[in-house]
Amino acid sequence: MLSVTDVTRGDTLGDAGEAGVLAEVFAALADQPTAGVLVGPGDDTALVRAPRGSVLATTDTMVRGRDWLDEWSCAEDVGVKVVTQNLADLAAMGGVGTGLLVTLVAPPDLPLAWARGLTEGIAWAAARAGVPVVGGDLSSAPAGTVTVTVAALGELGEGVARPVLRSGARPGEVLAVSGPLGRSGAGWQLLRAGAEASGQGRQGPLQALLDHHRRPLTDLTQGPVAARAGATSMIDVSDGLVRDADRVARASGVVLELDEGSVHSIADALVPVLGQDEAIRQVLSGGEEHELLATFADPAAVPDGWVLLGYAVGTDAPGVRLGGRRLDPSVGGWDHFGG
């Protein structure tokens, strides 16, 4: 497993210079999978195989102070998380990763050990998914600013004939999710409330929530599994269940009716830690979960391990409902520039 780097001592990016930083990065990327890579890092561009004749492409960025706090997350955590975010987007199309581009924008006083830890986190999460880092960029930033951007390339999974869009849900279909919800938001609440931040201390359910907030490790193979099973629409839960379900509902022109019993049942695992109200709030609006939310025409097609969450209803006013009551996606979920 990944370590936690001590970044309080040693060289900075400025001490090492661009070539020195790149040498560290390449060292951390030495043992990558290379089967699909025709040209890897170090030339003007990478060249990656696309045997299916098409390429999935997405990008997701993390900003220090916005998407992570150094007090709560080490460099390795950030690396794991930014890779998971990107690969979850590919999974939500029924895809798998084929290559990553990584951009670090950081001030010269950033510890070199932090950049190394970031790269190790990225390499670890990428290798876990069998995806190579094929290129990237490095740029200096104003003091205090650190941003990590990953662009992910992918292809449709084996046996997946077409991408699963947000727009394919139809009235009468069932809605299901690939795993629990609210864990990352619960972990964030725990950290905010002063739970231990070292990652070494407490074990058990609390630690699992902290871990999922820091290093979400969902089973992204469930994306292609769901696609092969006939998922008609899919999205990963990155901004909260209601907010992401609302995107599917609007793209598809349906209401997604959440089942109260299902929501309470998912929340049960969080109740001992958060209490009833906050547990339900985190299930409905906690972001960065990265489980997959999908609709299926046939309830029997829902893959093993997925949890039924509700169903799609025809409507003139697309959106999300819980127990017949319409939920406002702007409450709770994350808006980068909103209140």
Binding-site residue set for ATP: 136-137, 166, 238
Query: Does residue 224 contact residue 292 with C-beta atoms inside 8 Å?
Result: no
What are the binding residues?
44, 58-60, 67, 89, 136-137, 166, 236, 238-239, 288, 334
- Subset of 228-257 contacting a copy of itself (CB under 8 A): 234-236, 251
When the beta carbons of 38 and 331 are compared against a copy of itself, the nearer one is: 38
Helix (H, G, I), strand (E, B) or coil at 218: coil
- Subset of 250-309 contacting a copy of itself (CB under 8 A): 251
Q: For residue 103, what are the β-bridge partners?
A: 137, 149
Quote the Cα angle for 300-302-308, to 5°: 105
- Subset of 317-336 contacting a copy of itself (CB under 8 A): 335-336
Q: How far is the CB of 4 from a copy of itself (least distance, A)?
A: 25
What are the binding residues for Mg(2+)?
44, 58-60, 89, 137, 236, 239
Span interacting with a copy of itself, options 159-167, 180-188, 256-264, 320-328, rule CB under 8 A: 159-167
DSSP secondary structure of 244-258:
HHHHHHHHHTEEEEE
With CB under 8 A as the contact rule, the residue among 3, 45, 221, 276 that binds a copy of itself is: 45
With CB under 8 A as the contact rule, the residue among 27, 39, 69, 217 that binds a copy of itself is: 39
- Nearest CA-CA partner of 179 in 292, 96, 310, 297: 292
Report the largest interatomic distance among the alpha carbons of the chain, rounded to a whole angstrom.
Answer: 61
Q: Give kind and range of the element (H or E) at residue 155.
A: strand 147-156
d(CA 339, CA 332): 10
When the beta carbons of 67 and 173 are compared against a copy of itself, the nearer one is: 67
- Subset of 88-147 contacting a copy of itself (CB under 8 A): 89-90, 92-93, 95, 99, 101, 103, 105, 108, 134-142, 144-145, 147
When the beta carbons of 147 and 265 are compared against a copy of itself, the nearer one is: 147
When the beta carbons of 54 and 276 are compared against a copy of itself, the nearer one is: 54
> Does 16 sit near a copy of itself (CB under 8 A)?
yes
Tokens found for residue 328:
């406002």
Tokens found for residue 180:
């629990």
- Subset of 49-78 contacting a copy of itself (CB under 8 A): 49-51, 53-63, 65-67
- Subset of 186-215 contacting a copy of itself (CB under 8 A): none
148 burial (CB, 10 Å; 0-12 / 13-18 / 19+) is buried
| CA-based end-to-end distance of the chain | 38
